[in-house]
């Protein structure tokens, strides 16, 4: 049998176990929309077995009053009654199917939406540590599996209990001591089910964990397919995939074996019960205490009684297997954003754009060394502050703190004098436009990509922004202009075109604060120069934090801050720094102290 949880080298860790009662408590609120329908389902659940029992009773009448006395006058009414009951059963089945599906799907609708909203609101730190593929698997496969809890779970349990009650009642009416004999085997059902459900849970957990790992590896490999193919890592990636795939296969097989053995054991127990009843029933028939029709009906009802009995015991297997998925979802739901909104967040509207870092220190969760130590600076509205320094010096971390992807461990980040922790996250981010190191172009049309900056913006503004971003030219040459679909991550555009599209998006956002993280990285010198003009237009009148290695952009800054190992070691204008800071001069010396406008800087 597969092991329950992945070791330290597992692609995806197993979620912590959760008690069954806790699982119900956590998921019950998502049934809110469908709860009134539980009454309807309950009604259908009661009527179903009544119709069933009536059908079996008709069978008794057929044997005792038609077949044995060879009297045909009751045949027609019995046939009509059969027809009516079959129709009634059909209608009940239909109503039951539709209502149950509706309630189940409503539950899934609510849970999936809530989970999406929750995960979307988690801090960047969560996504930097988690494997995206596994999160996807939880939001799709695991959510589906957990529905079993509430529908196949509660409704099924109810249906089985009602069935059991109805059939037991009829059986007792026919012969109470035969019934007593028939149910002595019930505890055997429970014990078997308990034994199996524990094992089912172990394999179900393993199966879900492996499914998460398969999604994770697929997402990572296909998302980086150019790298994988360029470095000929297909075989290695396939090996990794195959290990998880095989792990899942073994878990599924273990689960199938358990299921098959369980079914056989249950059948044996049923047979034991039926044989006991048959023995005693035949004796009662001989003594004239039971009619032949009565005995046959008793045996038929008995086989139907064992159905719910088996169903009820088997439910623990269903629950165990679904709870493996539930645990993975609960683990996601229990993640709290590291960045918390204040209880009474301020929403100051459009800010002037004054930024202040006061003695800010920060260490990434789990990291050994701090990323920033005692960083202080001020940027007045409309100014541009350039952050320079070697790779890993902490420049991007400054931008992440400003966007409040993380909160500082010490010190304060302020916007217009407000501590960022007092502002609503929406209010803060509404004031910022970002251009990231890795340009993000979404799958969709050119227009969709620009409008993403400010939903609802008019056509004239879109075109104006594209013009100012120098993007209008290439957009109009695209086959469908603004309606051209640019492919996932903008793969159908060149790096420079993607960057100009991103500038247009930042233009329509029209935010007073701008964060530019290496806007010219990845572009050749010519493409880099081409976006300088649009960048300057974008920066005009906005407070800008510019992270760059590119001297061309850095020289535009009002002030430059040199970061080394998370500390500010020098500050001033380009000329002042060249004169004052050996480290700054070293950064740009290879390109000449008086670097001309054609010069690009060192790359990270």
* Residues at the site binding ligand ATP, with contacts judged by CB under 6 A: 128, 364, 367, 371, 389, 391-397, 604
Q: Which two tokens stand for residue 496?
A: 């420079």
All residues at 6 or more sequence positions from 433 whose CB lies less than 8 Å from its CB, including other chains: 453, 505, 506, 509, 510, 511, 513, 514, 515, 538, 542
Q: How far is the CB of 548 from ligand ATP (least distance, A)?
A: 9
Q: How far is the CB of 585 from ligand ATP (least distance, A)?
A: 19
Are 41 and 93 in contact by the 8 Å Cβ rule? The answer is: no
Helix (H, G, I), strand (E, B) or coil at 10: coil
All residues at 6 or more sequence positions from 262 whose CB lies less than 8 Å from its CB, including other chains: 192, 193, 196, 314, 317
Q: How far is the CB of 219 from ligand ATP (least distance, A)?
A: 19
Q: How far is the CB of 545 from ligand ATP (least distance, A)?
A: 12
Nearest Cα to 553, choosing from 563, 542, 544?
544
Q: How far is the CB of 476 from ligand ATP (least distance, A)?
A: 34
If the CB atoms of residues 252 and 583 are measured against ligand ATP, the closer one turns out to be 583
Q: Which two tokens stand for residue 487?
A: 């492919």
Residue 439 C-alpha from the chain's centroid: 25
Dihedrals φ, ψ of 514, to 5°?
Answer: -130, 130
Q: How far is the CB of 377 from ligand ATP (least distance, A)?
A: 15
CA count, 13 A, side-chain hemisphere, 60:
18
Are 559 and 572 in contact by the 8 Å Cβ rule? The answer is: yes
DSSP character for 14? P
Helix (H, G, I), strand (E, B) or coil at 558: coil
Task: Lay out the sheet containing 418-419: strands in order across.
Answer: 372-379, 355-362, 410-415, 418-419
| 372/341 Cα distance (integer angstroms) | 23
Q: How far is the CB of 521 from ligand ATP (least distance, A)?
A: 8
Q: How far is the CB of 519 from ligand ATP (least distance, A)?
A: 13
Q: How far is the CB of 566 from ligand ATP (least distance, A)?
A: 7
Residue-wise over 154-180: b if at least 16 C-beta within 10 A, else e? bbbbebbebbbebbbebbeebbeebbe
Q: Provide DSSP, 15-50.
A: PPP--HHHHHHHHGGGGGGGHHHHHHHHHHHHHHHH
Q: How far is the CB of 498 from ligand ATP (least distance, A)?
A: 18
Task: Lay out the sheet containing 543-547: strands in order across.
Answer: 432-435, 513-517, 543-547, 384-388, 559-564, 567-572
If the CB atoms of residues 82 and 364 are measured against ligand ATP, the closer one turns out to be 364
If the CB atoms of residues 37 and 364 are measured against ligand ATP, the closer one turns out to be 364
Q: Which two tokens stand for residue 379?
A: 């940027």
């Amino acid at each position: 049998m597969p092991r329950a949880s992945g070791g330290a080298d597992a692609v995806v860790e197993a979620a912590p176990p959760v008690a069954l009662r806790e699982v119900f408590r956590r998921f019950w609120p998502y049934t809110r929309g469908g709860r009134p329908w539980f009454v309807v389902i309950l009604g259908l659940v009661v009527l179903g077995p009544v119709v069933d029992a009536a059908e079996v009773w008709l069978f008794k009448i057929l044997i005792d009053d038609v077949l044995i006395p060879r009297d045909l006058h009751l045949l027609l009414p019995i046939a009509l009654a059969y027809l009516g009951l079959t129709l009634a059963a059909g209608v009940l089945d239909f109503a039951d199917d539709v209502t149950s599906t509706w309630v189940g799907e409503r539950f899934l609708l609510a849970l999936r939406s809530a989970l999406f909203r929750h995960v979307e609101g988690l801090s960047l730190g969560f996504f930097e540590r988690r494997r995206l593929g596994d999160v996807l698997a939880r939001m799709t496969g695991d959510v589906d599996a957990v529905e079993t809890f509430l529908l196949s779970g509660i409704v099924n349990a109810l249906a089985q209990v009602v069935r059991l009650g109805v059939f037991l009642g009829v059986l007792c009416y026919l012969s109470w001591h035969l019934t007593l004999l028939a149910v002595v085997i019930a505890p055997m059902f429970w014990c078997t089910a308990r034994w199996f459900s524990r094992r089912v849970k172990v394999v179900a957990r393993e199966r879900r964990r492996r499914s998460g790992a398969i999604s994770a590896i697929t997402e990572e490999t296909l998302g980086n397919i150019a790298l994988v193919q360029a470095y000929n890592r297909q075989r290695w990636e396939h090996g990794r995939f195959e290990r998880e795939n095989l792990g899942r296969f073994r878990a599924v097989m273990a689960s199938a074996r358990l299921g098959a053995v369980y079914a056989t054991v249950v059948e044996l127990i049923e047979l034991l019960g039926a044989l006991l009843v048959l023995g005693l029933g035949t004796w009662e028939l001989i003594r004239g205490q039971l009619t032949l029709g009565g005995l046959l009906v008793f045996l038929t009802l008995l086989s139907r009684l064992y159905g719910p009995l088996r169903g009820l015991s088997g439910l623990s297997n269903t629950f165990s297997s679904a709870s493996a998925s539930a645990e993975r979802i609960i683990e996601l739901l229990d993640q709290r954003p590291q960045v918390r909104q204040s209880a009474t967040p301020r929403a100051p509207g459009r800010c002037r754009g004054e930024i202040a870092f006061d003695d800010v220190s920060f260490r990434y969760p789990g990291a050994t060394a701090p990323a920033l130590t005692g960083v202080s600076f001020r940027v007045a509205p409309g100014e541009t502050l350039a952050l320079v320094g070697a790779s890993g010096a902490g420049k991007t971390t400054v931008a992440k703190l400003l966007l409040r992807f993380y909160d500082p461990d010490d010190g304060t980040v302020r916007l217009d004098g407000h501590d960022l922790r007092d502002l609503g996250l929406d209010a803060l981010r509404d004031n910022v436009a970002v251009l990231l190191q890795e340009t993000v172009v979404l799958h969709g049309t050119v227009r969709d990509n620009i409008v993403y900056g400010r939903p609802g913006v008019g056509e004239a503004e879109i075109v104006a922004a594209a013009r100012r971003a120098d993007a209008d030219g290439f957009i109009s040459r695209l086959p469908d202009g603004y309606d051209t679909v640019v492919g996932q991550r903008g793969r159908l555009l060149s790096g420079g075109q993607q960057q100009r599209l991103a500038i247009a998006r930042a233009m329509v956002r029209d935010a007073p604060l701008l964060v530019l993280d290496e806007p010219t990285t990845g572009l050749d010198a010519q493409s880099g120069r081409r976006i300088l003009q649009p960048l300057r237009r974008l920066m005009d009148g906005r407070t800008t934090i510019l992270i760059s290695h590119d001297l061309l952009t850095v020289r535009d800054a009002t002030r430059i801050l040199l970061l080394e190992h998370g500390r500010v070691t020098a500050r001033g204008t380009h000329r002042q720094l060249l004169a004052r800071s050996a480290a700054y001069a070293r950064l740009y010396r290879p390109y000449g102290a008086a670097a001309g406008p054609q010069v690009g800087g060192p790359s990270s």
